[in-house]
Chain A
Amino acid sequence: MSGWQTWGLWAAEWIALLVIFTGLLQTFFYVVQLGFAGVALGRRPPIARASLLWRRYADEAPGIAVLAPAFNEEVTIVESVNSLLALHYPDFEVIVINDGSKDRTLETVIGHFGLSKVERFHDAAVKHNPIRGLYASPRLPRLLVVDKENGGKSDALNAGINVARSPLFCSIDADSLLEPDALLRAVRPFVEEPLKTVAVGGTIRIANGSRIEAGQVLDIRMPRNFLALVQIVEYLRAFLMARLALSAMQALTVISGAFGLFQRQAAMEVGGYSHGTVGEDMDLVMKLHGLFRERRQPYRIDFIPDPVCWTEVPESLVILGRQRARWQRGALEVFSRHKKMLFNPRYGRIGFLGMGHVLIVDVLGPIVEVLGYFLVPLLWGLGLLAADYLLAFLAITFTFGIFVSTATLILEEAELRRFPKKRDLAILTAVAVLENFGYRQLANFWRLRGWWQFLRKQQGWGTMTRKGFARP
């Protein structure tokens, strides 16, 4: 064997080992998460009816400001606001932040709800673009509309944080549909651990295909679009397994921008949402971890598995690819901003478990997996790699993938049973298998694109064309 062949063989084995080792590490993380998620689900309080929750929390529940940023939402704003005003919670206000919309969002909401310009004494501690006016009506004391210059979602939320007067705020996406009792359910950790809880995330579910009326999901149905179906399995994995487990470990690194409850004062102390990142939701959570760890003050950031919020997911490859690249870029931006926490004993479990998870799954994950897709079969084809290595790579890629997705579905069915039809479960089980052959590889390429955008320091959200919720 010539020198270069020996070297090639050595390099091939090391690449294969690196790929397999990273895959095993990821799988190990997932298996541990499944265990934690299973225990957390078993220990969670029973899902109480809204009336019982109301009776239990009515006197003690802290006030919540629901912050709804709106940009060019002229068509849906009235329905969204009506849906938010119909929330069941003893003490809440809805703050709609018109982020310099170019359409008639502001005029529509002012006209429909009969609002007029008001003055309100508010904080200015968190930075955001100038507020042009505040609008309210004595007929609707729970509603306040903030009109401000355009600055993006995080800027709009910062304005909402300043204007809010409740001890807690709930950030939502413009297209989030909240369950009527979402706030009652999500506030539980703040009621049970009021001295420690600083943030709570809730489960986001996919509304594509379901019947929606007046901003509420009336009939849960499976979407017909394959991409939307795959995303249901992905969301289950992300929320029911990863976030629940990381919350149980007290190492949760992200609370979805579609629904999150935060202690207003704590969010203000870290300067609110950051500008210049598309991962502003993850960044806020990391900043909160940093603040409390540095102060050595006991705190909790929790996730509740109760379904609280519905969202629409992309059904086209182009838009989904763009979204996933953006999520990847956001994760990398936040990882880069908070890299000092990684494996830093000062940050305890968030440095080791939380940031370690981000490193293995988000930072290294897509690179190593795509590297594997190309190099392992190539090296095997060139006769540089033994069949054992190829088989091991395939095992990690496909069968463990199927195992993790199916195990999440098992957790869902055994503990929550949120899919009413047997057929839905059967479809999702099939999707949990099929997604590993084609979709998963594609998703990794999208994530690599996110890596590329991150390296080129690309900014902005790109265009997110929404199909709109199905109407009866």
Chain B
Amino acid sequence: MSSLAALWFLSLGIAAVALLIMLGLLLARLVLGWTGRARDVEKKRLVPLLLGSRPHGKLRGGERGDLLATILVELIQLVRGSDRDRFVEAATRLGVPERLRHNLNSGSPRVRLAAAEALAEFADEQSVERLHAALGDRSSDVRLSAALSLASVDRTPPARELVDMLGIGTTENSLLTVGLFRDIAASRPDEIKALILDDSVPANAKAAAIEALSASADYALVPLIASLALSSDSEDPALPRYLRALGAFAHPAGEKAVKRGLGNPRWDVRAAAAEAAGKIGLTSLGALLREALADPTWWVRFRAGEALARMGADGAALLRQAAANAPEPGRTAARLTMAERGIG
């Protein structure tokens, strides 16, 4: 048989195998009857059983599987209060946490991820212990999910350890780390504050910690963040985040850092500085903001206009001046900001 004929037989063979596999999957569908609708029906049947509103009902043997675990976790996440407690109790009785812990050993990162997320609903010691172990998982998604689950039950390791374990600020830059730090800060704010002071913590992790604390109204942090912004290199990617955090605190102690930011060669830093100036209400920077209305980058012009509009009569006066006398593009920026904000 020539190689070309062999190619023919090989291709015929793999097409036949593919069709056979497809046929097998179709048969599996037929046997298992798995459909979204069947799943919904199953969910409706399980709810009263799990709530105990039909005490004589019984769970079928085959229900101790992933489907049951998934449905129960979904139900737990849907409700609050005593219903939730009853679902958690029923799920625990049916061995759902055990199954989820088992799933954390799966070869599929998707299964491990789902298990790590779902275990957040169960705060028993064994689950917490298993989640701690999952912080060393080979998949970064699983590691972060395990950390988020532990944070939701306030059982994470110390924040500094977590930074190293997850590679926060280096290999892990997910925006979800801000939420993670926020959860930790709710009960252990000092650990997150310590990250900001620690020189060995990567800049992006510090920025995430600062963002997490920016809604805390802990004004003692302002000088600290301002000094970080002032000591940062102008190329530091975390600099706009520091400035935005200063804006969120709305404390005048950030003025020096904001002023310096307005002169930064990077447009994103200038825009963040202008935004912060408006939020803090730094009327002393009004002249610089008026100049920023003519910035070559639209975002800076926009943020400067917004900042001036926030500054009451002083800002409005500067906008009027710019709308009347400033060269383009500052004049248009001022005119349109006034029109949009209803400043006469």
Given contacts A403-B11, A403-B18, contact A420 B35 (CB under 8 A): yes
Inter-subunit contact A391/B4 (CB<8 Å): yes
How big is chain A's contact interface, by range? Answer: 35 or more
A20 / chain B contacts, CB cutoff of 8 Å: 4
Query: Is B85 an interface residue, CB under 8 A from the partner?
Result: no
Could you tell me the distance between the alpha carbons of A124 and B302 in the complex, rounded to whole angstroms?
A: 12
A395 / chain B contacts, CB cutoff of 8 Å: 7-8, 10-12
Could you tell me the distance between the alpha carbons of A123 and B10 in the complex, rounded to whole angstroms?
A: 59
Query: Is B259 an interface residue, CB under 8 A from the partner?
Result: no
Chain B nearest CB: distance from A96 CB in Å?
Answer: 19
Inter-subunit contact A420/B37 (CB<8 Å): yes
Inter-subunit contact B12/A429 (CB<8 Å): no
CB-CB nearest in chain A for B37: A420
* 10 A-B interface contacts by CB (under 8 A): A49-B74, A52-B77, A121-B340, A123-B298, A192-B175, A395-B10, A406-B19, A406-B21, A409-B22, A413-B29
CB-CB nearest in chain A for B177: A60
Binary contact track B315-341/A, C-beta < 8 Å → 1, others 0:
000000000000000001100110110
Inter-subunit contact B175/A191 (CB<8 Å): yes
Instruction: Count A-B pairs with CB separation below 8 Å.
Output: 140
Query: Is B157 an interface residue, CB under 8 A from the partner?
Result: no
For A392, give its contact among B8, B18, B19, B25 (CB under 8 Å): B8
Binary contact track A423-449/B, C-beta < 8 Å → 1, others 0:
001100100010000000000000000
Inter-subunit contact A195/B237 (CB<8 Å): yes
Binary contact track B112-155/A, C-beta < 8 Å → 1, others 0:
01100100000000000000000000010100000000000000
Inter-subunit contact A119/B336 (CB<8 Å): yes
- Tell me the interface secondary structure of chain B in the complex: helix
B339 / chain A contacts, CB cutoff of 8 Å: 119
Binary contact track B68-112/A, C-beta < 8 Å → 1, others 0:
000000100110000000000000000000000000000011110
Binary contact track A118-140/B, C-beta < 8 Å → 1, others 0:
11111111000000000000000
Chain B nearest CB: distance from A395 CB in Å?
Answer: 4
Inter-subunit contact B26/A426 (CB<8 Å): yes
Could you tell me the distance between the alpha carbons of A165 and B298 in the complex, rounded to whole angstroms?
A: 10
Interface residues of A (CB under 8 A from B): 20, 42-46, 48-49, 51-52, 56, 59-62, 118-125, 165, 191-195, 388-389, 391-392, 394-396, 398-400, 402-403, 406-407, 409-410, 413-414, 417, 420-422, 425-426, 429, 433
Could you tell me the distance between the alpha carbons of A381 and B273 in the complex, rounded to whole angstroms?
A: 77
Given contacts A42-B108, A402-B18, A429-B22, contact A125 B298 (CB under 8 A): yes
Inter-subunit contact B302/A165 (CB<8 Å): yes
How big is chain B's contact interface, by range? Answer: 35 or more
Interface residues of B (CB under 8 A from A): 2, 4-5, 7-8, 10-12, 14-15, 18-19, 21-23, 25-26, 29-30, 34-37, 74, 77-78, 108-111, 113-114, 117, 139, 141, 173-176, 178-179, 182, 204, 237, 298-299, 301-302, 305, 332-333, 336-337, 339-340
CB-CB nearest in chain A for B142: A45
For A406, give its contact among B7, B15, B114, B174 (CB under 8 Å): B15
Could you tell me the distance between the alpha carbons of A342 and B32 in the complex, rounded to whole angstroms?
A: 48
Could you tell me the distance between the alpha carbons of A46 and B23 in the complex, rounded to whole angstroms?
A: 26
A426 / chain B contacts, CB cutoff of 8 Å: 26
Inter-subunit contact A121/B333 (CB<8 Å): yes
A45 / chain B contacts, CB cutoff of 8 Å: 110, 113, 141
For B14, give its contact among A191, A399, A417, A433 (CB under 8 Å): A399
CB-CB nearest in chain A for B34: A417
A403 / chain B contacts, CB cutoff of 8 Å: 11, 14-15, 18
A121 / chain B contacts, CB cutoff of 8 Å: 301-302, 305, 332-333, 336-337, 340
Inter-subunit contact A429/B179 (CB<8 Å): no
CB-CB nearest in chain B for A24: B7
Given contacts A60-B175, A392-B8, contact A120 B340 (CB under 8 A): yes
Inter-subunit contact B110/A44 (CB<8 Å): yes
For B176, give its contact among A120, A192, A396 (CB under 8 Å): A192
Inter-subunit contact B174/A194 (CB<8 Å): yes
For B19, give its contact among A52, A193, A194, A433 (CB under 8 Å): A433
Given contacts A119-B340, A391-B5, A400-B11, contact A192 B174 (CB under 8 A): yes
CB-CB nearest in chain B for A187: B175
A389 / chain B contacts, CB cutoff of 8 Å: 4
Could you tell me the distance between the alpha carbons of A410 and B23 in the complex, rounded to whole angstroms?
A: 10
Inter-subunit contact A429/B173 (CB<8 Å): no
CB-CB nearest in chain A for B2: A388
Could you tell me the distance between the alpha carbons of A124 and B328 in the complex, rounded to whole angstroms?
A: 13
Inter-subunit contact A193/B340 (CB<8 Å): no
Inter-subunit contact A194/B5 (CB<8 Å): no
Chain A nearest CB: distance from B61 CB in Å?
Answer: 24
Could you tell me the distance between the alpha carbons of A421 and B35 in the complex, rounded to whole angstroms?
A: 7
